[in-house]
Amino acid sequence: MNYLEATIERPQKAASALRLGVRAHDFGRMPADELAARIAAGGFSCVQLALNKAVAGMDLRAGDLKAELAQQIGGAFARHGVGIEVLGCYVNPIHPDLKTRANFSRITCGLRAILAAASWPWKAVR
């Protein structure tokens, strides 16, 4: 039994406006489909997804997240009825080093482009 299993009382899915989410990486680092299945089995309906922390095999840098990979990961969560409500992006947008700040700009432009794509599965889950 892991920490989450020992300390969190599982919510029951009910017809309610309240959606309870978790940080996906608190369930471990594993393939997206397995991760989404575990989160759904725990009774949670949405997540904060920090790809490099939660999805096995991810070591993404600025510009690495392409639409095909995003659709693959988003699809895994959608199949299990788990919405991706927050994309974790741990950067400092006011970093004093201009190169570091420029890198942040490339990351956010990539995320904006993907979020704008109509094929993102979590738009349908909401």
Q: For residue 21, what are the β-bridge partners?
A: 46
- 74 φ, ψ (degrees, to nearest 5): -60, -40
- Does residue 121 carry a pLDDT above 50? no
Tell if the pTM clears 0.75, that is, is over it.
Answer: no
The 10s digit of each residue's pLDDT in 53-78 is 899 988 777 667 777 888 888 889 98
The residue extents of the domains of the chain are 3-7+18-121
Smallest CA-to-CA distance from 23 within 46, 52, 56 is with 46
